[in-house]
Amino acid sequence: MFFTEVYAGSAPLWFVSPWCLLFVFPLYLMHLLLFFNIAIRTKRTSVGHLYLFGVLIALYESWITKVLWTGYPGSEGPLMGTIFGVAALEFYVLVFFWHPIFAFVLPILVFEALAISDGSNMDYGEKVIPSHLSSLEKNPRLLSFLAFTAILGAGFLSLNTGHSAIIADTTILGSILLIFLFFHMARRNPSHFSIHSLQLKNEELAVVAAYLFPLYAFSFLFLDPDKVPSSSIPILMIIIFYALVGLLIKTSPACETLNSGSGMPRELLSSREFFEFCLLFLLLTSVFCVVPVVGEFIALKLNLVLFVGGPFFFVTIVMRLFQKLKHVYS
């Protein structure tokens, strides 16, 4: 919810909204648990693999919200037109960047960063997926990316809350407080606070699936049913893209088992840096609300950057995934 909905400004004050608590939050939670467990079971848990699973998550924006067919809520239609009935800008931004990164990859990596900051002396391999250590290593590239996301989120949140500093800042502070509280609750039991705790048993995974499948069916039929395409082509395009991404995941070499690990110490992103980054997000949002012309300019320009760069981002990650794993297994 923090990275995906708060950043987008699409769920202000979500923690007091019955709709968000009963529908939106479970939607993200169940998607994350389902696809993360599929990644574990298929031994495709590298960050590149997780990105591809996140792309699959993003496609819910067709069946549930219909955004990939009709554009963002409140808009008069797709902002940049359609390609075979699929909204171009919305697809490039949401499917190639927003949801893979903000709804899946970043939440998992931040969860791992918090897990290794619990004050225990447990081996890193007991806390995180080993291949994620390089992505968690505190370096200029990671810090620059986090700064970029803070600027991006501040622009969208300030814009979509009507530049209301009270609403925007309260949304951020409330979300940070919830993360902080649950982080300290989890620290009380360090042996259970690890990425491995997200592994589900068969019956637990069945519960997740039993929640998601009816949700898709109900939403497709009853949530804005007038937005369902009258032509089969837009629906077929989404199905084809599912198949393409599924094929990429299946044909990529398996990465590692979840329990293989390395205790090699590194200077990794910690809980302190994460919460400092949250404060940067808060500060930038406040500034953009006070000086709305700056926030609007950044939001619109970065939206175009994601539109142009989305496909390039997708292709680059896929190429690196196959090249890196091919090198490992050669």
DSSP one-letter string for 165-206: HHHHHHHHHHHHHHHHHHHHHHTTSGGG-SGGGG---HHHHH
For 71, 143, 326, the CA distances from 233, given in Å and listed in that order, are 17, 42, 36
Identify whether the C-beta of residue 190 lies closer than 8 Å to the C-beta of residue 31: no
For 2, 251, 258, the CA distances from 327, given in Å and listed in that order, are 36, 15, 20
The confidence score (pLDDT) of residue 257 equals: 42
- Over pLDDT 70: what percentage of the chain? 95
Strands (E), the chain: 82-83, 86-87
- Please state the separation of Cα 157 from the chain's center in Å: 16
Whether 175 has a pLDDT exceeding 60, the answer reads yes
Decide which of 191 and 29 is more confident: 29
Q: What is the largest CA-CA distance in the chain?
A: 58
Q: How confident is the prediction for the chain on average, in pLDDT? A: 92
Distance CA 261, CA 138 (A): 19
Structure tokens at 53: 């699973």
Q: What is the CA radius of gyration of the chain?
A: 20
Q: What is the pLDDT of residues 202-252, one digit of tens each?
A: 999 999 999 999 999 999 999 999 999 999 999 999 999 999 999 999 998
Q: What is the pLDDT of residues 176-211, one digit of tens each?
A: 999 999 999 999 988 889 999 999 999 999 999 999
Q: What is the pLDDT of residues 300-329, one digit of tens each?
A: 999 999 999 999 999 999 998 888 655 555
Kind plus residue range of the DSSP H or E element containing 143: helix 140-160
Question: What is the model's pTM?
Answer: 0.94
Structure tokens at 285: 């949002």
